[in-house]
Structure 1
Amino acid sequence: MESHEKEVKVGAVCDTMTSTLELRNENGQNGVPPSKQQIKDLDDLLPYVGGFGWYQRLLFLMMIPYSFFFAFVYFAQIFMTVVPSEHWCYVGELKNLSVEERRHLSIPRTNGMYDKCHVYDVDWKIILNEGISAPDDSWPVKKCESWEFNFTDIPYETIATQLGWVCERDNYPATAQSVFFGGAIVGGLVFGWIADKYGRIPALLGTNLIGFAAGVGTAFSNSFWSFCLCRFLVGIAYDNCFIIMYIIVVEYVGPKWRTFVANMSIAVYFTFAACLLPWIALAVADWKVYTLITSVPLGLAILTPWVVPESARWLISQGRTEEAIKIMKRVETINKKKIPDEIIKEFRETAAEIARTEREIKNYSAADLFKTPRLRRHSILLVIIWMSIAMVFDGHVRNVGSLGLDMFVTFTVATATEFPADILLILSLDMIGRRWMSFGSMVISGVFSILAAAVPIGIPSASLAIVGRFAVNISFNIGMQYAAELLPTVVRAQGLAFIHIMGYVATILVPYIVYLATINTIIPLLILGALGILGGCLCLFLPESTGKDMPQTIEDGEEYGRDQSFWNIPCIKQKKDVTA
């Protein structure tokens, strides 16, 4: 496929998914001797410079800090705002009593449990002077003005405990998380435009530096609104702080190595960074220090222009062919290869055609996806499916504190499922196909989420929920690749941006779904289960894209998959083709 068929008017988010799509849609150009290859796009230069030489290996290693930034930006807020399960009103006049004596005397009980939000409204000086050591149920009560916490399960102070985000304010952590995703919507739009207009490096630098500044600012927040402002700005960095680097590296790697590079960067780097977070929080036992530790490293992005090359595809699309060739010359030098002069000459001519095609494609918009019936149906399904995947994935991430086990261990185990999920995906996706793999993983996630709600809280519930998380990891990694393979080239980038941003919109609701655990711990699991099953079933109404040429025009998108049967499964079809 020509490069302009893979990456058109790419914003940061769109580029990622288009590049991911390349992983399994290459036609094996690397297996053709260079002398026999026609130079149609940038991929055709890679056999001359090396598909995975030392230059690409260094780039792959350079993904490590950006993967860490991504994990820190996405997950760090969980451990800043978590609230211990036990809290009660603090009565300053009783500070000389032990915790148990203070709670016994001042806190009313309901069904044998200490009230978390009310305290007896009496003159404690009189109570102490009279030597009263037991409460009287007839005493009046009032709402708490300050709280004390049992830090056994969460052994450090968070901003939520510091500012008293409990009782009538216990929705503040959920609201702050939704504000974060509001920032992600703005960041997706703004940095997608910057990446398209000014290049990938300015976008990558800008998004990480905003995350750095706002993350450091978070540590000095002293109110709900200042915290929300900082988290909104950190949300702007979400996704793009890594995804743009991911795009750049995938572009410079040979087609047969892209599956490895794209998936292993998530499976190893991102997963390892995410698994570290709860232990960093426990080690420092101070939410402000923890916030600084997870924010300051983003400042290293200032080195980006000196260590990361600009996207050669973007340079070509802008007509800056000589700059792209200069980068490829650097690649050949480090890889100890040589591009023949006649190949360079041929590529210059091809690049001019690619740039012209890029300009023509800009005449289309995402609205063209909804102008014809079948393409409109596919586009609506893709939006709903991705919204359900995003909600189920993020819901499982944030619901770990409601599963009845140690939150830090549960988070680590659940996050570690990303690695086997990616490995399984690499081994089975092309055999089972996008459609049935998406259906199966989403439905399995939904079923196990519902089962987790039906068993006792603790090890049984957590074990089943972790299986649900494992399954939705697979769905999440398929989702945007599947969309990229179904959308026509002329609107692929804009269509993917629209779908991705709708996923951000959907995740704004997730913190409130998880918040429903304060009413009953099974409610979030039931909702996540229903969303998983719904999203999985909708996948069956899409055509299969495994091994198919991507549609290029709107007409191609309208006709795509029209001749497929409902039971189309790639591995079965391949067997039939072999026997025939």
Structure 2
Amino acid sequence: MRDYDEITAFLGEWGPFQKIIFFLLSLSIFPNGFCGMSIVFVGGIPEHRCFVPGNLNLSEAWMNRTIPLEQAKGKLQYSKCRRYRLDVIRNLSEIFPDPDSVNISEVEQEPCLDGWVYSKDQYMSTIVSEWDLVCDDDWKGPFVMSVFFMGVLVGSLCCGQLSDRFGRKIVLFGTMATQIGFSIVQLLSPNWEIFCLLNFFVGFGQISNYVTAFVLGSEFLRKKVRIIFGTVGICIFFAIGYMALPLIAYFARSWRILLFILSLSGLMYIPMWWFIPESPRWLLTKGRVQEAEAILQHAAKKNGVNPPMTLINELKLEVMENEKKQHFSVIDMFRNRSMQAIGVISLLVWMITSAGYFGLSLNTPNLHGDDYLNCFFSAVIEVPAYIAAWLFLQRFSRRFSLSGSFFMGGGVLFFIRLIPSNLPTLSTALVMIGKFCTTTAFSVLYVYTTELYPTTIRNLSVGVCSMFSRLGSIISPYIFYLGIHHEFLPYILIGSSTVLSAILILFLPETLNVPLPETINQMQKIKGVSCISTRNLIS
């Protein structure tokens, strides 16, 4: 019996219909780039120090000495979280008009009891300056992004089931509306707690939109175009959206204005409803043959070809075949010892890769130089990274391409601590190389995982791996939070874990020029691992 790809072969591989689908679904990912990374500027940390009330009647000389100096990142600067006791300073100022005649460093210090003063040189306002997410509350900034990734995790778990039940198209546009709608509502957040809650739903909508667009494109496009779509199409449009973020943020220095401008991108989704059809594959799984046929007839008309007269009969046979397919669960990913080894390595590598990618992306404000340029370069570097991933997939071994990318990406991060402080540009360059390699590896990892697992559990396996990657993204904001205590510790953690991934990948089987496995017993095995089945294999 012919499968769906054979039945629809008359449409060709790259006609006008496929080009429209490719472009529109890729374009639908554009807002994900700047909405997903907007916390870099929405949660930016302005220069700040303790507020000193003006009713103390201190002279300018004494006012300038109320904040202690401390060593931070190799230089002397005003403390951000402490001040000298103001009652003592006031008494001293009445006795000694000249503060240089007093050893102020011996005066007792106190926290910023009257709040903080924030510099407006870079930001007019951020959620940090509006709700004082600094000093003892500085953990709340990274937590905002962790909550976003918690929403991404839940969205990863739900979007597949939702799209399988209600359809790809309605979930695609519904989650687009969720992402943009909650971004708009965030503008009205009265406090940090409400902002976090809304950020959860923004994350939920974003990943569901991304995954559903990826699945819809994969079901419309044939094999060669499908690989380009998954590695270059939607990924580059994500990167373009990411590049637009610092450009918009440069002119919109208030976090509310920035979110409002980014949310306006949702208007571009509205006309897409009439140009992106439902997946015929999904319609067939629901027995809706007439609707699937109508979409294929429309596609044939767009491509200037004539559909076969037997089309509807073959579609009905495909429906019957779908009804015979067995259902599988997560347990089937770990049927035997070889699959258990492949599964554990895959889950661990996905989690490490996600933590590294988002850790490096969210760290751009901590790099030397201009924050806006650093963020822009971090986005630009993704374009050649996705192209490199596509070239690797076309020409080279999956295993060694992935392992090499991991090894180089992790290795360069170790050298950052060796760079002299008078060469900050070189440190930034090494971070960008690490970001390039991690992005390349992430893109290759998607395709490699789909080739490792058989058709019967392929979507399930990629979904579970993607879920574990969200655990990595949840902890990623706190990786660079550790930099408060040790400047180079985050790079050491990401570098060492990435190199570990490079080693683990070498234990997996090669999939280049190997036929995709259809059943579990056709799946390749790890050499040296005993493959005693824990239950009968389904052929």
Asked whether the two chains share a fold, i.e. TM above 0.5, the reply is yes
2:29 aligns to what? 67
User: Are 2:462 and 1:496 equivalent residues in the alignment?
Assistant: yes
Match of 1:576 in 2: none
> Retained in 2: the 8 A contact 1:209–1:302?
no
Which of 283, 286, 294 matches 2:254? 286
In structure 1, how many angstroms separate the alpha carbons of the residues matched to 2:326 and 2:447? Answer: 21
* Corresponding residue of 1:202: 170
Q: Is 1:356 matched up with 2:323?
A: yes
Q: Is the 8 A contact 1:543 1:560 kept in 2?
A: yes
Alignment partner, residue 181 of structure 1 = 149
- Alpha-carbon spacing, 1:371–1:249, altered in 2? closer, same or farther (3 Å): closer
Identify if the C-alpha distance between structure 1 residues 122 and 484 changes in structure 2 by more than 3 Å, giving closer, same or farther.
same
Aligned to 2:505: 539
Task: Name the residue aligned to 1:554.
Answer: 520
Query: 1:73 Cα deviation (Å)?
Result: 2.9
Distance 1:127 1:543, change over 3 A: same
Q: Displacement, 1:563?
A: 10
Query: In the superposition, relative to structure 1, how do residues 95 and 200 fare at CA in structure 2: closer, same or farther (>3 Å)?
Result: farther
- CA distance in structure 2 between the partners assigned to 1:68 and 1:250 by the alignment: 18
Aligned to 2:52: 91
Q: What secondary structure does 1:119 align onto? A: strand
Query: Contact 1:60–1:261 (CA<8 Å) still a contact in 2?
Result: yes
Counterpart CA distance in 2 for 1:275 and 1:246 is 21
1:411 paired to 2:392: no
Change (3 A) 1:118 1:528: same
Report the equivalent of 1:385: 349
Structure 1 residue 333 and structure 2 residue 296: aligned?
A: no
Q: Secondary structure at the match of 1:165?
A: coil
Say which is worse superposed, 75-84 or 420-429, in terms of deviation.
Answer: 420-429
8 A contact 2:69–2:77 mirrored in 1: yes
Q: Could you tell me which residue of structure 1 aligns to residue 133 of structure 2? A: 165
**Aligned AA for 2:319?**
A
Q: Which runs of 5 or more residues in structure 2 are unaligned?
A: 530-539
CA distance in 2, matches of 1:272, 1:102: 50
Q: Deviations over 1:494-541 (max 9, x none)?
A: 222111111101221111111111122211111110111001110000
Alignment partners' CA distance in 2, 1:333 and 1:383: 44
Match for residue 105 of structure 1? 65
Q: CA deviation at 1:110?
A: 2.9
Give, in whole Å, the separation in 2 of the partners of 1:255 and 1:110.
60
How far does residue 155 in structure 1 lie from its aligned partner after superposition?
3.6
- What corresponds to 1:10 in structure 2? none
| CA drift at 1:132 | 4.2
**C-alpha contact 2:330 2:460 (8 A) present in aligned 1:** yes
1:459-498 alignment runs, 5 A limit:
459-498=425-464
Structure 2 distance, partners of 1:278, 1:383, is 33
Aligned to 1:441: 405
* 1:428 aligned residue: 392
Match of 1:510 among 476, 487, 492: 476
What are the Cα deviations for residues 196-238 of structure 1, in whole angstroms up to 9, with x where unaligned? 1111112112211111221112222232211110111111113
Q: 1:97 to 1:436 in 2, by over 3 A?
A: farther
Structure 1: 5+ residue stretches without partners: 1-38, 565-580
Instruction: Give deviations 1:91-146, integer Å, cap 9, x for gaps.
Output: 23169999x86862321223553211112222487778789463734443321131
Q: Secondary structure at the match of 1:341?
A: coil
Amino acid at match of 1:472: T
Segment of structure 1 superposing worse, 519-528 or 105-114: 105-114
Deviation (angstroms), 1:263: 3.0
Name the count of aligned residue pairs: 518
Contact 1:194 1:202 in 2 (8 A): no
Q: Which residue of 2 aligns with 1:367?
A: 331
| Contact 2:24/2:272 (<8 A) preserved | no
User: Residues 94 and 116 (structure 1 numbering): CA distance in 2 closer, same or farther, change over 3 Å?
Assistant: farther
Query: Which deviates more, 481-490 or 53-62?
Result: 53-62
Counterpart AA for 2:284: I
Q: How does 1:33-48 map to 2 (within 5 A)?
A: 40-48=2-10
Structure 1 residues 563 and 311, CA gap change in structure 2 (3 angstroms): farther
| Higher mean displacement: 48-57 or 119-128 | 119-128
In 2: Cα distance, 1:68 partner to 1:62 partner: 10
1:156 and 1:282 in contact (8 A); partners too: no
| Cα distance, 1:337–1:95 mapped onto 2, change above 3 Å | farther
1:298 is matched with 266
- Give the residue type in structure 1 aligned to 2:414: I
Q: Indicate conservation of the 8 Å contact 1:155/1:285, yes or no.
A: yes
Preserved CA contact (<8 Å) 1:488 1:556: yes
For residues 17-75 of structure 1, the C-alpha deviation after alignment (integer angstroms, 9 at most, x for no partner) is: xxxxxxxxxxxxxxxxxxxxxx8233234442232222222223323542222213321
**Paired AA for residue 523 in structure 1:** L
Structure 2: how far apart are the matches of 1:378 and 1:285?
A: 47
Structure 2 residue identity aligned to 1:214: F
| Equivalent of residue 116 in structure 2, options 119, 140, 147 | 147
Displacement of 1:330 in angstroms is 0.7
Residues in 2 aligned to 1:114 and 1:563: alpha-carbon distance in whole angstroms? 59
TM-score (norm 1): 0.83
SS at match of 2:262: helix
Alpha-carbon distance in 2 for matches of 1:503, 1:103: 50
Match of 1:256 among 224, 246, 249: 224
Q: Which residue pairs with 1:28 in the alignment?
A: none
**Is 2:485 aligned against 1:524?**
no
Distance 2:445 2:380 in 1: 20
Q: Deviations over 1:411-457 (max 9, x none)?
A: 21122111112222222324321111110000100001111232135
3-state SS of paired residue (1:110): strand
Hey, what's the Cα distance between the residues in 2 that align with 1:285 and 1:97? 33
Q: Is the 8 A contact 2:187 2:260 kept in 1?
A: yes
What is the TM-score with the length of structure 2 in the denominator?
Answer: 0.89
C-alpha separation between the residues in 2 aligned to 1:133 and 1:229? 51
Q: Give the Cα–Cα distance (whole angstroms) in 1 for the partners of residues 253 and 56 of structure 2.
A: 24
Q: Structure 1's 88 and 460: CA in aligned 2 closer, same or farther, altered over 3 A? A: same
CA distance in structure 1 between the aligned counterparts of 2:6 and 2:57, rounded to whole angstroms:
77
Matched, 1:311 2:279: yes
